[in-house]
Structure 1
Amino acid sequence: MFKLITFAAAFAAGVSAHGDHSQEAFKEGPHKSLWYNTLPGDGGTQADSVFSGISTFGRIEYHPCLASDARKYDIAFIGAPFDTGTSYRPGARFGPSGIRQGSRRLNLYGGFNVPLQANPFNSWATVIDCGDIPVTSYDNEWALKQIEEGHNSILMREPASNAHMTGPSKHGKTLPRVITLGGDHTITLPLLRSMNKAYGPITVIHFDSHLDTWKPKVFGGAPTKVASVNHGTYFYHAAQEGLLRNDTNIHAGIRTTLSGMSDYDNDGYCGFEIVEAREIDTIGMDGIIKKIHDRVGHENPVYLSIDIDSLDPAFAPGTGTPETGGWTTRELRTIIRGLEGIHLVAADVVEVAPAYDTNAELTTMAAADVLYEVMTLMVKDGPLSELSADSKKELK
């Protein structure tokens, strides 16, 4: 019995150490033989298996950032498990854990991104997983407040690199970048509220099959103030609250049915240009990338929001409102890589609902791979303190 308890204690210590990727205490403990190869003539430690241990995004370091500010970072992943703003299929509250599960193999061979010629796991940037924001499933208004405050707490800290240099925030500071794992698309509203505190009105690139700029009375009827905020109206509210820069925002991948062409008018007052999914057949991926660059520019901080349903359901079936006729995973990853040169200061991926995925984890892997591209772009862009002086002047 004593040996069993001792082993259990040592194993628990090892799991705990594994969670923060510091296993030396376990390796040197009474059961260190578990970690060392004992075959004749072959020494060294046994590598972790990608299918073992506690899941973090890409198996990066975990730190409970909302409980402690002891760890500094340049890029932080944070989960927002919320899905009570959906109009069709719920389940995106399991998105953060699903995306982390789908990300396990990202740095299996070292993490080097061949097309972008960079390694986001081994660079100037300290990248960590901050876990999830605690989000209630019983009160949408309170849940969105939790998401806003949790995100802002992560966003407004000193980064690990160039912390004391001036940056593009409206207070002239350099801030870390934050990547949020959703959650249904309603979460983008509180995230933009958080971004507004840091940067003021911000430019948005929005990958989605739906516009999400509907007026509440058109989408859902808006019987109450709380009901008026959902995953189809959050950009309307963001525009009304002054969170968006006018005439620099863009949708890409749109292909939803509409009540009529007048629905496109919504994008006018929200400041969005539209790139439809079918345009890939006429102007190609390069044409779509050019449209995004022309619209967004290269001076301003940019927020990137990716609905996984911008992919065709053949490639991402695990989502709340699937629409056929979308892009392939390869096409979306190529388009996102084409955003190099745009200053992405924060991003989210949303509407990943693992319950509707296949047992091959197609959707969660696609979401993780897309964020791998986003993370690489952020690393290649360098610390935010390096944004141009002209950008800082414009932001003031």
Structure 2
Amino acid sequence: MGRYVPHDSLESPRFSGVRTFMRLPNARDLPNSDAVVVGIPFDTGASFRAGARFGPEGIRSASHLLRPYNPLQGIGIFDHISVTDFGDIPIVPGYIEESYEAIRRELEVIHRAGVVPIALGGDHSIALPELRAAAAIHGPLAIVQFDSHADTWDSYFGKRYNHGTVFRRAVEEGVLSPQQSVQVGMRGSLYGASDLEESRRLGFEVMSTQTVRRLGPEETVARIRERVGESKVFVSFDVDFVDPAYAPGTGTPEVGGFTSAEALELLGGLSGIDLIGGDVVEVYPQYDGPAQITSLLAATVAFELLSLLASVKKANVEQSGGTEDGLDH
């Protein structure tokens, strides 16, 4: 069959229809998909504001503004990959470990089918079951984490599972390879110097906001690409990477961050990496105001991740001299 593509917004208005991501079909047809967008409406792991459970809904609504051609990458996404909106994973509100198991179970099925999931969060604690599911199929992963917080505490209020401990747990469980991983954009006040030193001790490369600004986007991207090398890569984008002037609708905002344009430039520079999954997390629509600017940022980040997948698919087909009629599962 043909590719799954969005509804044609030149035939039906973008403000109409059911709110799926970019107006894609709501389908769970993994054999005929290259990638799926999946909602994970979980926020029990949050430590300050609550409400990221409404993030997938807000991101999907804002995504109807997006068009299928990405001028930064020079690619029409759906000319090269078949994508559906997979719907939401049925988490268990208030119960993090039960929700983790539900998330892992569903995402592992997606990875096993050779399909790349792009998740809409949800707070950042969802990254742990995402990584568990991906590593079960692909082995330990490299992560590129765009964030203002390292999320490598050992515990918070004596609890091991929340959005501040997720990447420490991932290293301990062996689902991440920290020597191929990088945390980009760290900034803001800390409980102590050890907050970031723990990340380095675990093996991550830590690039603070000040470091990224000193290096500039080209050198930052070069450092990221050198770090991940040929590894299977998971990209995790916390919207608090961006300054709250551009992304107010988040759970733990930190001033002094990046613009939306700077964030998209860094993401676009990752073209060609072996992306096997990604997410955009910590969107709180109730703090976003009527303009939906944080939701639109998050939708555009997911759009950029799909663009990276489409670029790789296009390059692989061109290199092999084949056609894109079939799916590469």
Using the size of structure 1 for normalisation, the TM-score is 0.75
Q: Given that residues 201 and 243 in structure 1 are in contact (C-alpha distance below 8 angstroms), is that contact kept between their aligned partners in structure 2? A: yes
What are the Cα deviations for residues 212-271 of structure 1, in whole angstroms up to 9, with x where unaligned?
Answer: 01111xxx231xxxx320000011111111111141110011103222222222113432
What secondary structure does 1:302 align onto?
strand
Q: Tell me what 2:76 maps to.
A: 119
Distance 1:323 1:355 in 2: 18
Q: Which residue of 2 aligns with 1:141?
A: 97
Q: Counterpart in 2 of 1:301?
A: 232
1:141-199 CA distances to partner (integer Å, 9 max, x unpaired)?
11111111111122212xxxxxxxxxxxxxxxxx1111011100000001111011111
Instruction: Please tell me whether the aligned partners of residues 112 and 118 of structure 1 are also in contact (alpha carbons under 8 angstroms).
Output: yes
Query: Aligned match of 1:314 in 245, 263, 283?
Result: 245
CA RMSD of aligned residues (A): 2.2
- SS of residue matched to 1:180: strand
Q: Distance in 2 between matches of 1:375 and 1:22?
A: 17
Q: Corresponding residue for 2:126?
A: 187
**Secondary structure of the equivalent of 2:301?**
helix
Check the 8 A contact 2:240/2:247 in 1, yes or no: yes
Deviation at 1:385, TM superposition (A): 8.4
Contact 1:95 1:353 in 2 (8 A): yes
Paired residue type of 2:112: M
Given the superposition, is the C-alpha separation of residues 242 and 53 from structure 1 closer, same or farther in structure 2, using an over 3 Å criterion?
A: same
Distance 1:270 1:367 in 2: 28
* Secondary structure, counterpart of 1:62 in structure 2: coil
| Greater mean deviation of Cα atoms: 254-263 or 340-349 | 254-263
Aligned to 2:170: 238
Counterpart contact for 1:76–1:127, Cα < 8 Å = yes
Partner residue, 1:37:
none
Query: One-letter code of the match for 1:304?
Result: V
Q: Which amino acid aligns with 1:177?
A: V
1:245-304, CA deviations, whole angstroms, 9 ceiling, x for partnerless residues? 14111001110322222222211343211111123432211121122112111x111010
The residue type paired with residue 85 of structure 1 is: G
CA distance in 2, matches of 1:49, 1:93: 27
Contact 1:239 1:269 (8 Å CA) reproduced:
no
2:86 maps to 1:130? yes
User: Which residue identity lines up with residue 142 of structure 1 in the other structure?
Assistant: E
Aligned length: 314
What secondary structure does 1:90 align onto? Answer: coil
**1:208–1:21: structure 2 CA closer, same or farther, 3 Å change rule?**
closer
Structure 1 residues 118 and 70, CA gap change in structure 2 (3 angstroms): closer
Secondary structure of the equivalent of 2:258? Answer: coil
Tell me which of the two structures has the higher relative contact order, counting C-alpha pairs closer than 8 angstroms and 6 or more residues apart.
Answer: 2
Hey, what's the Cα distance between the residues in 1 that align with 2:30 and 2:152?
39
1:81 aligns with 2:59: no
2:249 partner letter: G
3-state SS in 1 of match to 2:179? coil
| Of 56, 59, 77, the match for 2:20 | 56
User: How far did 1:52 drift?
Assistant: 0.7
Matched, 1:152 2:108: yes
Change (3 A) 1:117 1:82: same
Query: Which AA in structure 1 matches 2:169?
Result: H
Asked if 1:209 corresponds to 2:148, the answer is yes
Match of 1:250 among 167, 182, 189: 182
Normalised by the length of structure 2, the TM-score is 0.90
Q: 1:282 to 1:46 in 2, by over 3 A?
A: closer
Amino acid at match of 1:275: M
- Which amino acid in 1 is paired with 2:77? P
What aligned pairs does 1:222-371 form with structure 2 within 5 A after superposition? 222=158, 227-297=159-229, 299-371=230-302
Partner residue in 2 for 1:8:
none
Contact 2:101 2:129 (8 Å CA) reproduced = yes
